[in-house]
Amino acid sequence: MADIQQSIRDILIAIGEDPDRDGLQKTPERVEKALRFMTQGYQQSASKVIGDALFQETHHNMVLVRDIEFYSMCEHHMLPFFGKAHVAYIPGSRIVGLSKMARVIDVFARRLQVQERMTDQVADALVEELAPRGVGIVIEAHHLCMMMRGVEKQGSSTITSAMRGAFLSDASTREEFLRLVHSRAR
């Protein structure tokens, strides 16, 4: 713990701040606590968060959970990126508790990340844990590394996708998924 706090203190000094001034005295401790929370995905796995929430079921149609909010940190600048994930699968012989799909997103979002890798990690983890007929993931995110610095494009967003199984091999399944993801009529 002391290493992170000392490093934050050193950073404050390096940027010209006084880490002993009133508003900054507890900043190293707060930053460490925040970093540990925002990177807790390193201590988690999809298998553990899904646990025993797998159920035998004969449902063989698409299951979609959309608009799953997430927050992550860009590994290049350690600045946040955030957005929504849309996750679908076509069950093989079992279904998963719906909240577990959001938890799997967090396993990978709560690490230093790039959106492209995170999208693939979620898809691959669901394939491994659920053995579904297919998985489709779309992630839409806003990256503060593009918005606050560099090109400073506040209106920009990044969309990534990963398709496995039927979502990759069957164009009509993929089209149905994408239509449902982008449909805003509720």
pLDDT tens for each residue of 46-73: 999 999 999 999 999 999 999 999 999 9
Q: What does each C-alpha distance from 53 to 12, 86, 90, 137, 174 come to in angstroms?
A: 45, 20, 16, 20, 26
Kindly state the tokens that stand for 143.
């990256």
Instruction: For CA atoms 11, 13, 16, 17, give the dihedral sign.
Output: positive
Query: What pLDDT is recorded for position 122?
Result: 98
Of the candidates 132, 124, 68, which has an alpha carbon nearest to the alpha carbon of residue 95?
132
- Do residues 4 and 27 make contact, with C-beta atoms less than 8 angstroms apart? no
Q: Which CATH architecture has domain 48-182?
A: 2-Layer Sandwich (3.30)
- Residue 95 reports pLDDT greater than 80: yes
Write down the pLDDT at residue 101. 97
Res 184 pLDDT > 80: no
Token reading at 182: 């982008």
Q: Which residues on adjacent β-strands are paired with residue 65?
A: 87
Which residue type is seen at 132?
P
Task: Evaluate if residue 186 carries a pLDDT over 70.
Answer: no
pLDDT at 156 over 60: yes
pLDDT at position 18, please? 97
Angle between helices 27-38 and 2-14 (to 10 degrees): 120
Q: Give me the pLDDT at residue 178, please.
A: 96
The pLDDT of residue 28 is above 70: yes
Provide the mean pLDDT of the chain.
95
Domain spans, the chain: 2-38, 48-182
146 confidence band (pLDDT: 50, 70, 90): confident
Active site residues: 74-77, 115, 143, 145
User: pTM for the full model?
Assistant: 0.92
Q: What pLDDT is attached to residue 2?
A: 74
pLDDT at 1 over 70: no
User: pLDDT higher for 138 or 145?
Assistant: 138
